[in-house]
Structure 1
Amino acid sequence: MSPAPPIYATGITTRQAGLALAVLLLTYMMSYIDRTALGVLQEPIKHELGLSDWQLGLLSGPVFAILYSTMSLPVARLAEHHSRSRIIAACLFFWSLMTLLCGLAQTYAHLLIARVGVSIGEAGGNPASHSLIADLFPPERRGRALAIYTFGVPVGAFLGAALAGWLAHLWGWRAAFLVLGPLGFVLVGLVLLLIPHVPRGRFDPTPLDTRPPGTLTVLRLLAGNAAFRQFAAGASLVVLVGYGVAAFLPSFLIRAHGLEIGQVGLIAGLVNGAAAGIGTLFGGFAADRYGRRDVRTYGWIPAAMMLAATPCFVLGFATGGLLPATILLMAGTACIYTYIAPTFAQVHAMVDARMRATAASVLFLIINLVGLGFGPPLIGLVSDRVSAAAFDGDPRQGFAVACHEPAAALATACQAASATGIRAGMVAISLILLWSAIHLYLAGRRLARTG
């Protein structure tokens, strides 16, 4: 007779915890498939709808970030009181439906509204998932569990880029949204069936209060924690670079290296998917391993990785060769993704079980308002300005007018100017990683004082 599977705490076996984590991983992966598709498809969208890089940046940035960030807090409060798996399932259904509607958009306004819907749906998935993971796994395994969960980001980014590029190559950009959106509907049933009821605070040393603390109580606790402030600042700047680069990487590859959209999806998938996955897992496992001896490494490992990422990105965007650019950008992306698991593992350790969904949503609110809100528009603004200055065509029309639908005589000048602009935007934003490294280093020092 085989022994019963081990349990972490009463009622939940390690097998059940692992299966639930796998479902949460798939859910997070689906959110990034839907989110990443827009970046790959924005060049054909730009030409069909007549958009500027600034408008594309708004669509990928503030339009998504504001509601994604602000809606996560009220949904997190629901997750403190009600079934977390049902909240995740409802959010998954809604954002998948909105992704499908992106493919039916006829104007910029239609697409904007659909993206707002995607952001509202995706807002609720992360805080509830983080709260579940903190109750599924003990503290010494939490960094690894969060790294595995966050592995959905690079896997989803890879699949979203590769599938969107392939589908757009075959049938156009609208077909990509119409195919990818409904895939999420299948996952709704898995969420409801395979995630068990998980008692809150299973691994907390003190009895759990039956009433969750108020939002202001959680905010005051986090605001008064110096390590949290530094982690939030550092992570926000990393996300600013990461989301900005991810949003415009397909455009960079098309303009600077002359690739077709099908090729772009594969390379963007390798950079934002495979490389990001390596960095995500390394960050979580390394922080858990070395953090047992020195808790400061939860901040110092990501800080060192940001310093390494900066020259990789700058050289990757500046070089003219596709192969060295791809290798350098993959290395830089792997480095920046190391921040995720250590940062969230420490935030979970700062609060008790009835605060974790709210604490996670507060951190998401901060990093996404800064990162998503400013990253893509900043690149778009620099790109538009530098492209206009570099345009070697009819000065009476200017870059924006002459290159909207360029005549054959202007095609080369427009291509050269747009390539120069996108390179400048990508290089400029990459330098912000040096700033983020300072905050992550200071976060490690603050942990030593509070831990």
Structure 2
Amino acid sequence: MSDAKVTGSRSPRLVLAMLLLVYIFNFVDRQILAILAAPIQQELGLDDAQMGMLGGLAFAMLYSTLGVPLAWVADRTSRSWVITGSLVVWSLFTALCGAATGFWHIFLARLGVGVGEAGGVAPSYAVIGDHFPSERRAFALSVYSLGIPLGSAAGVLAGGYVATRVDWRAAFVVVGLAGLLIAPLFKLVVKDKSKGGGIGPATTAPTIRFGEVAALLARKRAFWLLSFGAASSSMLGYGLAFWLPSLLQRSFKLDLVETSWFLGAVLLIGGTVGVLMGGLLADRLGKADRAWYGRVPAMAYVVAVPLFAGGIWTSSVPLAFLLFLVPQALAYVWLGPVTSAVQHLVEPPARATASALFLLINNLIGLGGGIYALGALSKALAPVYGAESLRYSMLLGLGLYLLAALLMSLAGPALRREWVAERT
């Protein structure tokens, strides 16, 4: 009898496909705010600093902190149910963003989106860890991470289209309701496997304590270097993703539809190539030396900096597209290697909790700080550079990728020592 029949679970590829679909909606609901920033600011009278709070702090506060207890619950109960419930909550609050009448209304709705999305990613990492062996896990996590460019591109394109045809409020409602429709399908397809890393009944209870996982990771140099390296890159990555639509409209004079197509193509093509490339390289090179799980992202960041700078600085739209396309791919390379490496710092029953602690650092600093920091810096530079202040804010932020490259490089030797081999 096959493992799938014993556990009642579906094939790993089908499970991965459903996880990817949910993750796409995760980023649709995040990225749609960026493409709708201009009409929201115009109608609600918000400045760049306030918009930065909506895109970063409002979402990241509860998204980052609640992710840890929700992942702990998922490790002890049902990962699939936690993901399903999270999808329902964040989709409802996304739809409620369309009813906002002022800053605090939409701020609270974005808090709700963060609450829902807090329970989605870390348990999904753990489900993938349960279904795919170590030597294929980085690529599987890269396929899952395709939800970032695919969801971001879909959010930009759908948001721009609906906002142009109807208004920005309708765009929030449409994507929120769409997420609600796939929640029952996800739970029907994705079943829980044993959390011991092998085949067994889904009801097998893990013997795990949150404090033990936290204490274990606190002693691992690789965990801290990977977490703060990812957080540094995410500050710039999330900041660029959120503010690039505004830059294209202010400095390149593109309208909403043109901005949607420009950014959607960059995210879709560049992001997809980068995510898959990172996973393939890490799985291949990492067999010989675990340090490559840190080296691969580090090299990508270094190459991305001058290309991003050229795209931000140029005034040519076609040249900007080409210059943004390549570094956008390089910016996503880290996802497969780093998320896989974090999975290998603990035993299988602790995977969701370890991933959540990693995401706590990454998102609280990267998502919470990056979008607001670029917006606040743009506001501070406005008296000197006027409408071009956002361009200079982004250029200054590129130093974060160099810091991330240094931290990821230093993580390599620690990964050799602290890697947890799986029992067969």
The TM-score, its normalising length taken from structure 2, stands at 0.95
Separation in structure 2 between the aligned mates of residue 41 and residue 449 of structure 1, nearest angstrom: 46
Of 383, 406, 419, the match for 1:438? 406
Structure 2: state its 5+ residue gaps: 420-424
Corresponding residue of 2:128:
133
Q: Does 1:314 align with 2:314?
A: no
1:42-80 deviation line (CA, Å, top 9, x unaligned): 111111111110111111111111110001011111101
Whether the aligned pair in 2 keeps the contact of 1:9 and 1:202 (CA below 8 Å) is: no
Separation in structure 2 between the aligned mates of residue 450 and residue 295 of structure 1, nearest angstrom: 10
Corresponding residue of 1:402:
none
Separation in structure 2 between the aligned mates of residue 377 and residue 276 of structure 1, nearest angstrom: 23
For residues 15-54 of structure 1, the aligned pairs below 5 Å read: 16-54=11-49
For residues 47-196 of structure 1, the aligned pairs below 5 Å read: 47-196=42-191
Corresponding residue of 1:448:
416
Please state whether the residue corresponding to 1:61 is helix, strand or coil.
helix
Please state whether the residue corresponding to 1:144 is helix, strand or coil.
helix
Structure 1: state its 5+ residue gaps: 391-416
Of 213-222 and 114-123, deviating more is: 213-222
Tell me which amino acid in the other structure corresponds to 2:308: F
Tell me which amino acid in the other structure corresponds to 1:447: L
1:206-227 deviation line (CA, Å, top 9, x unaligned): xx99443221211111110111
Shift of 1:8: 8.4
Please state whether the residue corresponding to 1:182 is helix, strand or coil.
helix
Whether the aligned pair in 2 keeps the contact of 1:65 and 1:372 (CA below 8 Å) is: yes
Separation in structure 2 between the aligned mates of residue 370 and residue 272 of structure 1, nearest angstrom: 22
Corresponding residue of 2:274:
279
1:161-209 deviation line (CA, Å, top 9, x unaligned): 01101111111111111111100111111111101231112349xxx99
Tell me which amino acid in the other structure corresponds to 2:268: G
Shift of 1:12: 6.7
Corresponding residue of 1:269:
264
Shift of 1:323: 1.1
Corresponding residue of 2:391:
423
For residues 293-372 of structure 1, the aligned pairs below 5 Å read: 293-372=288-367
User: How many residues end up aligned between the 2 structures?
Assistant: 416
Separation in structure 2 between the aligned mates of residue 344 and residue 8 of structure 1, nearest angstrom: 25
Shift of 1:138: 1.0
Determine which structure has more spread, i.e. the larger CA radius of gyration: 1
Shift of 1:143: 0.7
Please state whether the residue corresponding to 2:11 is helix, strand or coil.
helix
Tell me which amino acid in the other structure corresponds to 1:349: H
Whether the aligned pair in 2 keeps the contact of 1:80 and 1:212 (CA below 8 Å) is: no
Structure 1 residues 232, 9: CA separation in 2 closer, same or farther (over 3 Å shift)?
farther
Separation in structure 1 between the aligned mates of residue 267 and residue 238 of structure 2, nearest angstrom: 10
1:282-314 deviation line (CA, Å, top 9, x unaligned): 111110011111111111011000000111111
Tell me which amino acid in the other structure corresponds to 2:252: H
Shift of 1:35: 0.6
Tell me which amino acid in the other structure corresponds to 2:316: G
Tell me which amino acid in the other structure corresponds to 2:320: A
Whether the aligned pair in 2 keeps the contact of 1:212 and 1:355 (CA below 8 Å) is: no
Shift of 1:262: 1.0
Tell me which amino acid in the other structure corresponds to 1:443: A
Separation in structure 2 between the aligned mates of residue 257 and residue 46 of structure 1, nearest angstrom: 19
Tell me which amino acid in the other structure corresponds to 1:256: S
Separation in structure 2 between the aligned mates of residue 209 and residue 164 of structure 1, nearest angstrom: 43
Separation in structure 1 between the aligned mates of residue 122 and residue 144 of structure 2, nearest angstrom: 12
Of 76-85 and 35-44, deviating more is: 76-85
Please state whether the residue corresponding to 2:130 is helix, strand or coil.
helix
For residues 374-393 of structure 1, the aligned pairs below 5 Å read: 374-390=369-385
The TM-score, its normalising length taken from structure 1, stands at 0.89
Of 441-450 and 106-115, deviating more is: 441-450
Whether the aligned pair in 2 keeps the contact of 1:143 and 1:341 (CA below 8 Å) is: yes
Tell me which amino acid in the other structure corresponds to 1:27: V
Whether the aligned pair in 2 keeps the contact of 1:138 and 1:203 (CA below 8 Å) is: no
Whether the aligned pair in 2 keeps the contact of 1:8 and 1:137 (CA below 8 Å) is: no
1:411-435 deviation line (CA, Å, top 9, x unaligned): xxxxxx21x1010111111221011
Corresponding residue of 2:422:
none
Shift of 1:256: 0.6
Shift of 1:9: 10
Separation in structure 2 between the aligned mates of residue 53 and residue 361 of structure 1, nearest angstrom: 30
Please state whether the residue corresponding to 2:251 is helix, strand or coil.
helix
Corresponding residue of 2:219:
224
1:78-99 deviation line (CA, Å, top 9, x unaligned): 1011111111111101110101
Whether the aligned pair in 2 keeps the contact of 1:383 and 1:422 (CA below 8 Å) is: yes
Please state whether the residue corresponding to 1:124 is helix, strand or coil.
coil
